[in-house]
Amino acid sequence: MQPFTVKPKTAEDLKPEEERIKTRQCSLCPAPDDTPVPPDLGPGDYIYAIEELVRLHHPDLSNLFTTTTEGRTLSFLKNALEQAIQLVGDEVHRQYIVSFQAKGSEPGTFHAVRVTVKNRPQLQAKTRARYWTLQ
């Protein structure tokens, strides 16, 4: 009911309180900016509800990217941002990066990757599950 019972917003309403011009003080003073702005279709509006339902059917891109790259996501809504940054920082300081260049394989072939750490069962090796050779 709000769009039907509340005065439409103008560009003047969007300015900070201290910058708003309530009424014209003199003939040379600027007038309030009465340019209409689009309505705020926030929660409670039918169009907003339909857009949210449509959005729910879109794939979760962060989940898609992390599963295909063997990564993980950290939610800032459940954990504080500082906790997530601390977790990533601790993880970065406890890892090594090992790289290799595959030789003798034909370009465009698909390969699986498996890494183990000898004689150290408490250590965990994370890798991509597979890769494509390019050249």
Residues, the chain:
135
In this predicted structure, what is the pLDDT of residue 27? 78
What is the model's pLDDT at position 52?
77
Tokens of 16: 């900070």
Cα dihedral angle (113, 114, 117, 121), rounded to 10 degrees? 150
More confident residue, 5 or 28: 28
The pLDDT of residue 42 is: 64
**For the segment 18-55, what is each residue's pLDDT rounded down to a tens digit?**
888 877 778 788 888 888 887 666 667 777 778 778 87
Q: Does this model's pTM top 0.75?
A: no
Q: How confident is the model at residue 6 (pLDDT cuts 50, 70, 90)?
A: low
Number of H helices, E strands in the chain: 4, 2
Distance CA 59, CA 76 (A): 19
Question: Cβ of 13: how many Cβ atoms within 10 Å?
Answer: 14
Q: Which amino acid is at 100?
A: F
User: What confidence tens digit (pLDDT) does each residue in 75-109 have?
Assistant: 776 557 888 888 888 888 888 888 877 777 777 78
Is residue 128 pLDDT above 80, yes or no? Answer: no
